[in-house]
């Protein structure tokens, strides 16, 4: 078993001055913490893996393919591999747990 605490992950992510912290990599999946500040642009490109986003805190809109919705704490979004997606209109600092399957390359 491995246990992670969001406060510890956020501190590590911030200390490394990056928007993304990968904290778990296993044979069939990987996980990370993604952060965008209010007003910040999301510049990610489509991934080769299926993804699940769990919004830990904050508020934004997300567009996946041609669909757009708003997300906030507790929202879960599935993004199929290869589909264009991005967060936008980030109105509150956003923290998102990301799970990739298979693991992120």
Write the pLDDT tens digit of every residue in 17-67.
899 999 999 999 999 999 999 999 999 999 999 999 999 999 999 999 999
Residue 103 CB contacts under 8 Å (≥ 6 apart), including other chains? 25, 26, 27, 28, 29, 30, 49
Residue 81 · residue 50 · CB < 8 Å: yes
Structure-block tokens of residue 92:
């509150």
Q: Is 92 helix (H, G, I), strand (E, B) or coil?
A: strand
58-74 confidence digits (pLDDT tens) = 999 999 999 999 999 99
Q: What distances in angstroms separate CA 16 from CA 21, 42, 75, one per listed residue?
A: 8, 18, 26
């Amino acid at each position: 078993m491995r246990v992670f605490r969001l406060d510890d992950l956020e501190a590590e992510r911030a200390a490394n001055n990056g928007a993304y912290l990968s904290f778990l990599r296993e044979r069939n999946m990987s996980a990370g913490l993604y952060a965008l500040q209010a007003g910040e642009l999301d510049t990610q490109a489509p991934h080769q893996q299926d993804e699940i986003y769990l919004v830990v805190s904050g508020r934004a809109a997300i567009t996946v393919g041609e669909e757009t919705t708003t997300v906030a704490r507790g929202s879960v979004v599935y993004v199929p591999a290869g589909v264009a997606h991005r967060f936008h209109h980030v109105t509150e600092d956003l923290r998102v747990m990301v799970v990739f399957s298979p693991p992120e390359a």
